[in-house]
Amino acid sequence: MNTRRWMSIAVCLGILLLSGRVFGETIYVHSRIAPLMAGPDLASGKLGELELGSKLEADRLQNGWYHVVSDGKSGWVNRLMVKKYPPVKEKGDQLMGRQHLARRARIRPSSLASTAAARGLRAERNRYNMRLKADYKALEKMESFRVTPQDARCFVMKGSQNVSGQ
Amino acid sequence: MCQGNKPVSALVVMVMVIGLAARADCGRQRINVIAKEQEAPADWQTEAWFGRKLAARILGSIPLCDCPAANRYLNLVGSGLALYAPAPGAVFTFGILDSEKVNAYATPGGYIFVTKGAILRMRNEAELAAVLGHEIAHVSCHHMVKSLGLNRHQDSAVGGMAVLVGGTTGSFRQAISQGLEKGLEILFDTGYSRKQELEADRIGMQLAVTAGYRKDGLVNFLKRIHGFEASAAEDDRSHPTWKVRLQQLEASMDGLHQDPGPGQTREERFNEAFAQLFDSDIGDEHNRSSR
């Protein structure tokens, strides 16, 4: 009897300790929208939508879906759309960060040589640079076609938006 | 008790050790998470800066298609998919390249291109969404940065790519130039690794299905262009073999539970948006042969 009791205790302890990877994990939504589903698949009914940065408590992982609780509502969210750390807050124009990065990078300029060498970025040949000139005018034109997340959301949800207008 | 329970005690100790090891591993993961959290802001910004330079060079080689309505529609479809992508710092921009070849490209930060030749061989929005989803996955998974080896961080908070971005000297500029050259080589010649391509297929399919499209969009498109293997072979270098790709996709499809429903191909608005392309001379030629 004692042996059985010890074995039961050991198995229970093992399960508890090993399952610590999932139980009680805090996860964050990293996509702009993450559907909260009634079950761990896309055929289940959609209970709602979670927004970017939503903090969730996951109690289990099944077939690539986390079972989570959000605002008292429980459901399943796709593992693809969440990570275990909060997303970065956007700072408007993402390119504004370049000067900041430049300052940070210049703290250790001597690291460039080793970085570039380690990454295999030495000047071995130059055929793409010779062949391809940058066309920023065309790029700006392409950027003018960007749509807002709100427009994109309407387009997905309605599925019948007039697409011919610009 | 002492004699009879030695094996049991050993078992208990073993289980405890394994459990504690797992806990320790969790602890290490948490430390990594904290490190990633600190580095993440720089990653997206620098990737966008680098990706924009790459995108400008792509457009320097292949012109942007002069079709505003089609480009606008492409951005709506792509941005709709990107809503579900785990890329919080990316600003996705989509463009149609005026090329008859069948291909699509993505640069870091969210610049995504599809050739006119590829669009002309698609039959509906679900197929377009699948191709765009594949490219969005490349961006979300930082495949270019990983392929260039620029995701590895040094002992300071300055990552490899940030170092490249930050410099102003001739050496810095040369390193950036070489980084761009390598990036273009990946896009146009060598391609991503097989593992990265298959990962992009799988995630792209998930994005498309989450946005409400049929799950067989990419499989149908690949099967169709596989029929044009003679012309597509030259554009095939950057991807795993058709057979492997289709096998993996079909396996992923089996794991995706989706109810078939009406409207998931959204063929009508696809045809309406791309009418200008389909009505062009090239379009007529392809319409006759492939649509």
Are the C-beta atoms of B90 and B48 separated by less than 8 Å?
A: yes
Q: Which candidate, B260, B234, B167, B89, places its Cα nearest to that of A32? A: B89
Task: Report pLDDT for B274.
Answer: 94
Q: Any residues with CB less than 8 A from the CB of B23 and at least 6 apart, and which?
A: A17, A20
Phi, psi at B177, each rounded to 5°: -60, -40
**Which A-chain residues 64-123 have CB contacts (< 8 A) with chain B?**
78, 80-88, 90-91, 94-95, 97-98, 101-109, 111-113, 115-116, 118-123
Q: What is the pLDDT of residue A119?
A: 46
The verdict on pTM exceeding 0.80 is no
Q: What is the pLDDT of residue A161?
A: 42
Contact predicate B179/A112, CB 8 Å:
no
Distance from the Cα of B164 to chain A's closest Cα (Å) equals 7
Domains of chain A: 13-83 (2.30.30.40)
Asked if B3 has any chain A CB less than 8 Å from its own CB, the reply is no
What distance in Å separates residue A17's CA from the closest CA in chain B?
5
Nearest CA to B166 among A114, A103, A113, A93? A103
Q: 3-state secondary structure string, chain B?
A: CCCCCHHHHHHHHHHHHHHHHHHHHHHHHHHHHHHHHHHHHHHHHHHHHHHHHHHHHHHHHCCECCCHHHHHHHHHHHHHHHCCCCCCCCCCEEEEECCCCCCEEEECCCEEEEEHHHHHCCCCHHHHHHHHHHHHHHHHCCHHHHHHCCCCECCCCCEHHHHHHHCCCHHHHHHHHHHHHHHHHHHHHHCCCHHHHHHHHHHHHHHHHHCCCCCCHHHHHHHHHHCCHHHHHHHCCCCCCHHHHHHHHHHHHHHCCCCCCCCCCCHHHHHHHCHHHHHCHHHHHHHHHHC
- Taking only the tens place, the pLDDT of each residue in B85-143 is 999 989 999 999 999 999 999 999 999 999 999 999 999 999 999 999 999 999 999 99
Q: Which residue of A has its CA nearest to B30?
A: A84
CA distance A128 to A112: 22
Q: Which residue from B141, B128, B143, B139 is spatially nearest to B75, judged by alpha carbons?
A: B128
Q: What is the pLDDT along chain A (166 residues), one digit of tens a residue?
A: 577 777 777 776 666 555 544 568 899 999 999 999 999 988 888 899 999 999 999 999 998 999 998 888 899 999 999 999 898 765 443 333 444 444 444 434 344 444 444 444 444 444 555 556 899 999 999 999 999 999 999 999 876 444 333 3
A3–chain B Cβ distance below 8 A for any pair: yes
DSSP, collapsed to helix, strand or coil, labels residue A136 as helix
CA B5 to chain A, closest CA, distance in angstroms equals 6
More confident residue, B149 or B28: B149
Using alpha carbons, select from B208, B259, B251, B252 the residue that is nearest to residue A43.
B259
Q: What is the average pLDDT value for chain B, to the nearest integer?
A: 79
pLDDT for A117: 44
Of residues B212 and B82, the one with the higher pLDDT is B82
* Res A95: pLDDT: 37
pLDDT above 70 coverage of chain B, percent? 66
C-alpha–C-alpha distance, residues B105 and B115, integer Å: 9
- What pLDDT score was predicted for residue B13? 65
Q: CA torsion sign, A56 to A60 to A61 to A65?
A: negative
pLDDT of residue A135: 96
Q: What phi-psi label fits residue B142: left (phi over 0), alpha (psi between -120 and 50 degrees) or beta?
A: left
**Which B residues 212-241 touch A at CB under 8 Å?**
212
- State the ipTM, two decimals: 0.77
List helix spans (H) across B104-159.
Answer: 116-120, 125-140, 143-148
Q: Tell whether the model's pLDDT for residue B41 goes beyond 50.
A: no
| B277/A contact by beta carbon, under 8 A | no
The DSSP call for residue A93 is S
| Partner A contacted by B17 (CB < 8 A) | no
Interface with chain A: mutation pick from B83, B252, B272, B277, highest number of A CBs within 10 Å: B83
Choice between B199 and A121, residue whose per-residue pLDDT is larger: B199
Asked if the Cβ–Cβ distance from A106 to B166 is below 8 Å, we say yes
Per-residue confidence (pLDDT) for residue B154, from 0 to 100: 42
Alpha-carbon distance of B14 to B218, in angstroms, equals 48
Please answer whether residues B90 and B213 qualify as being in contact, where contact means their C-beta atoms are separated by less than 8 angstroms: no
User: pLDDT value at position A127?
Assistant: 52
- The angle, 0 to 180 degrees and rounded to 10, between the axes of the packed helices B194-210 and B125-140 is 130
Which chain B residues contact residue A33 at CB under 8 A? 83-84
Tell me, yes or no, if A7 comes closer than 8 A to chain B by beta carbon. yes
A98 CB neighbours in chain B (<8 A) are 45-46, 49, 165
Q: Please count the CA atoms within 13 angstroms of the CA of A131 that sit on its side-chain side.
A: 12
In which band, very low, low, confident or very high, does the pLDDT at B43 lie, cut at 50, 70 and 90?
A: confident
pLDDT value of position B282: 53
Beta strand spans in B26-130 (E): 93-97, 104-107, 111-115
Residue with tokens 């940058």: A134
Q: How far is B180 from chain A (nearest CA, A)?
A: 8
Cα–Cα distance, B58 to B69 (Å, whole number):
21
Q: Record the tokens describing residue A57, joined without a space.
A: 């408590």
Across the interface, do A155 and B40 touch by the CB < 8 Å criterion?
Answer: no
pLDDT above 70 for B40: no
Percentage, residues of chain B above pLDDT 90: 46
Return the pLDDT at B44: 85
Test B149 with A139 for CB contact under 8 angstroms. Answer: no
